[in-house]
Amino acid sequence: MRKLLILLLLSYILLQNASAQKSFEIVPSFGYMITPTINYQRCTGHIDPVFCFSSSFIYHPNPTWNCEIIYSRSKPTSYLYDPDDNRVAAYTNSRIDMERLLAGINYFFSIKEIRPYIGVLFGFTYTQTTETPLTSSYTAFSMAPEAGIDYFFSSLIGIRLNAMLLLTPDVPNNSSYFNVDKIGQGFPGFAVGDPSNANITQWNFSLGIIIRFMKKKK
């Protein structure tokens, strides 16, 4: 809830500043997130592919670059896997809440109505268990290089195709990512030993609708 309030506050500030900028955009998007295998010390982590929803808030100081804030949410299924003990996957299998708040800059290459762009975002990923008696959560730094194409049907409406590489370093396997509650219950130490950390890489591909608010000419 606190992150959502921060997002709304930042969006309000951007909207107020939009009157002094060339344009302001809101981009609701629907995407698909894929997570490659996560290699821990004595097991692997798995986050199943999942559909996710996001909202971007963007303002353009000029046509070649913009500032972007994006909030996204998904509910993937995750589990740990030990090839020597099938109980681990069943013991840790659960659905988790995953939220992200990222902000950064994009650079555009304008080709008439088609506008390719590249950029990088920084922020945080928040995960929370949904199936443990004692709910736990984990917040981690994330960064996201991205690339995409904006195509406008008119001066106010367009679509956005986006590909984003999400990088979240040093995530422990005894966290809410894998159904472990706030006192450590749910971690399969009986099979994988002590907890360990690993980097998580995720790919997100999305399609969004661009709603643009133009600066009024004086």
Whose structure tokens read 């981690």?
140
Contacts of 112 (CB under 8 A, 6+ apart): none
Of 94, 88, 167, residue with least CA distance to 130 = 94
Which string of b and e fits 173-209 if b means at least 16 CB within 10 Å?
Answer: bbbbbbbbbeeeebbbeebbeebeebebebebebebe
Domains in the chain: boundaries: 2-214
For 80-128, write each residue's pLDDT tens digit: 999 989 889 988 899 999 999 999 999 998 777 788 999 999 999 999 9
Model pTM above 0.75: yes
Q: Which of 11-15, 74-78, 182-186 has the lowest mean pLDDT?
A: 11-15
**CATH number of 2-214: 2.40.240.20, 2.60.40.1120, 3.40.30.10, 2.40.160.20?**
2.40.160.20
CB atoms within 10 A of CB 36: 11
How far does the chain reach from its first CA to its final CA, in angstroms?
Answer: 39
